[in-house]
């Protein structure tokens, strides 16, 4: 069992040399001048620099008009179903991130988790902003509660919800590890077929304001991927017995299967630029990329090409000044050059 952090633990030791990612013994104070994890101090300015609010993104009225006049029936259905899944994911992230913080014993990492929780809340608010303008109240209900009548979505939501609930109910080492791998899959894989759908719309100059918000959300999510990839790597360094490679591969396999099934169900073959084949290829390619970030071999060695490579120009992860969405460039690779200092 893991022990939940005490609010204040006067006997604790804050010296960074003795700090551990979990199961440490800190006082509970945010002593941030003495940081151990240099990747955390490097990630902080990137996360803070990504600040945005949905209320400042203009053009949703154009999206509302376009939704009725320019989207096919299949695109409208996909827009609603994809948003429903993203809404669910950001909801549970907003609620659950603090549950991980309760067991992380590094203030510099807890700092980032607090920023993440705040960003997940902003994402939730951004969906509300989209739904307020683009669709009518009946459709809004339908989108929030799509899972009520959709067995495939309900199963997906229950799967990840149960992984988190098991960890909250019984915070064993194993349930903690399952929880952070579940979190990593959510952040690094679950969102991306949905993001690809919005990219294909933007590629055809459709739903540009929604696309811009999705782009900001993705920029945040990529920092969350980095954060959790690093937490998992620290678990491997500091607690090799908790790190369970077989479990990672098993969970990846399940997640890829679920993501392909759901994405094919909601996107099908009727969205220009997306086929069942590209959905399969993209999900497997992405899973390999995410495993590589954890220092693990690919699960699908045959999936070496990103079928949506042509859409990368719409994403803000590339340092391209002519970036269509005019968003800030981030570089989310891990930096170890700062040695625990907070230089901007
Ligand atoms: Fe999010
Ligand atoms: Fe996230």
Give residue 187 CA to ligand 1 midpoint distance, Å: 8
Q: Is residue 306 in some structural domain?
A: yes
| Total number of domains constituting the chain | 1
The answer to whether 127 is a known catalytic residue is yes
Side-chain half-sphere exposure of 251, counting CA atoms within 13 A: 23
* 273 burial level (CB within 10 Å; 0-12, 13-18, 19+): middle
- Per DSSP, the three-state class of 22 is strand
Q: Is residue 223 in some structural domain?
A: yes
- Per DSSP, the three-state class of 220 is helix
Q: Is residue 341 in some structural domain?
A: no
Give residue 281 CA to ligand 2 midpoint distance, Å: 23
Q: For 81, phi and psi rounded to 5 degrees?
A: -65, -45
Give residue 136 CA to ligand 2 midpoint distance, Å: 27
For residue range 222-261, list pLDDT tens digits in order.
Answer: 999 999 999 999 999 999 999 999 999 999 999 999 999 9
pLDDT at 287: 98
Angstrom distance (rounded) from CA 248 to CA 291: 9
Q: Is residue 20 in some structural domain?
A: no
Q: Is residue 50 in some structural domain?
A: no
Angstrom distance (rounded) from CA 344 to CA 341: 9
Q: Is residue 133 in some structural domain?
A: yes
Give residue 189 CA to ligand 2 midpoint distance, Å: 11
- Per DSSP, the three-state class of 271 is coil
Q: Is residue 225 in some structural domain?
A: yes
Give the ligand whose atoms come closest to the C-alpha of residue 214: 1
Give residue 113 CA to ligand 2 midpoint distance, Å: 10
Give residue 332 CA to ligand 2 midpoint distance, Å: 14
Question: Structural domain of residue 232, as residue ranges?
Answer: 59-314
- Residue 120's contacts (CB-CB under 8 Å, 6 or more residues apart) are 90, 93, 94, 97
Q: How many residues does the chain have?
A: 344
- Per DSSP, the three-state class of 138 is helix
- Which of 79, 127, 164, 282 does the annotation list as catalytic? 127
Give residue 127 CA to ligand 1 midpoint distance, Å: 11
Angstrom distance (rounded) from CA 15 to CA 112: 19
**For residue 96, what are its two tokens?**
């659950």
Give the ligand whose atoms come closest to the C-alpha of residue 227: 2
Give the ligand whose atoms come closest to the C-alpha of residue 213: 1
Q: Is residue 30 in some structural domain?
A: no
pLDDT at 203: 95
Give the ligand whose atoms come closest to the C-alpha of residue 183: 2
CATH number at residue 83: 1.10.620.20
How do the pLDDT tens digits run along the chain, 344 residues long?
999 999 999 999 999 999 999 999 999 999 999 999 999 999 999 999 999 999 999 999 999 999 999 999 999 999 999 999 999 999 999 999 999 999 999 999 999 999 999 999 999 999 999 999 999 999 999 999 999 999 999 999 999 999 999 999 999 999 999 999 999 999 999 999 999 999 999 999 999 999 999 999 999 999 999 999 999 999 999 999 999 999 999 999 999 999 999 999 999 899 999 999 999 999 999 999 999 999 999 999 999 999 999 998 887 544 333 333 333 333 333 333 344 566 55
Question: Is the distance from CB of 239 to CB of 24 less than 8 angstroms?
Answer: no
């Amino acid at each position: 069992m893991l022990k939940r952090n005490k609010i204040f633990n006067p006997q604790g030791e804050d010296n960074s040399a003795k700090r551990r990612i979990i199961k440490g013994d800190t006082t509970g104070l945010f002593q941030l001048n003495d940081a151990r994890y240099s990747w955390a101090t490097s990630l902080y300015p990137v996360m803070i620099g990504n600040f945005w609010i949905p209320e400042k993104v203009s053009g949703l009225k154009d999206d509302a008009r376009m939704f009725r006049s320019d989207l096919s029936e299949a695109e409208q259905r996909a827009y609603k179903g994809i948003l429903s899944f993203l809404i669910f994911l950001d909801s549970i992230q907003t609620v659950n991130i603090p549950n991980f913080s309760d067991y992380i014993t590094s203030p510099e990492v807890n700092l980032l988790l607090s920023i993440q929780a705040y960003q997940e809340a902003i994402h939730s608010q951004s969906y509300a902003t989209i739904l307020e303008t683009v669709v009518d109240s009946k459709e809004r209900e339908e989108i929030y509660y799509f899972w009520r009548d959709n067995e495939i979505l309900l199963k997906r939501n229950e799967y990840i919800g149960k992984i988190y609930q098991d960890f909250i109910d019984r915070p064993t080492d194993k349930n903690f590890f399952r929880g952070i791998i579940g979190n990593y899959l959510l952040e690094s894989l679950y969102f991306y077929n949905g993001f690809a759908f919005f990219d294909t719309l933007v590629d055809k100059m459709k739903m540009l304001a929604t696309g811009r918000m999705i782009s900001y959300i993705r920029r945040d999510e990529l920092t969350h991927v980095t954060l959790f990839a690093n937490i998992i790597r620290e678990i491997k360094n500091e607690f090799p017995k908790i790190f369970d490679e077989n479990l990672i591969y098993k969970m990846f396999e399940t997640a890829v299967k679920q993501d392909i099934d759901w994405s094919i169900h909601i996107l099908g073959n009727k969205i220009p630029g997306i086929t069942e084949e590209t959905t399969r290829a993209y999900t497997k390619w992405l899973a390999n990329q995410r495993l590589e970030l954890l220092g693990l071999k690919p699960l699908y060695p045959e999936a070496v090409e990103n079928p949506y490579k042509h859409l990368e120009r719409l994403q803000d992860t590339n340092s391209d000044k002519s970036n269509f969405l005019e968003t800030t460039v981030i570089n989310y690779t891990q930096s170890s050059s700062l040695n625990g200092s907070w230089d901007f």
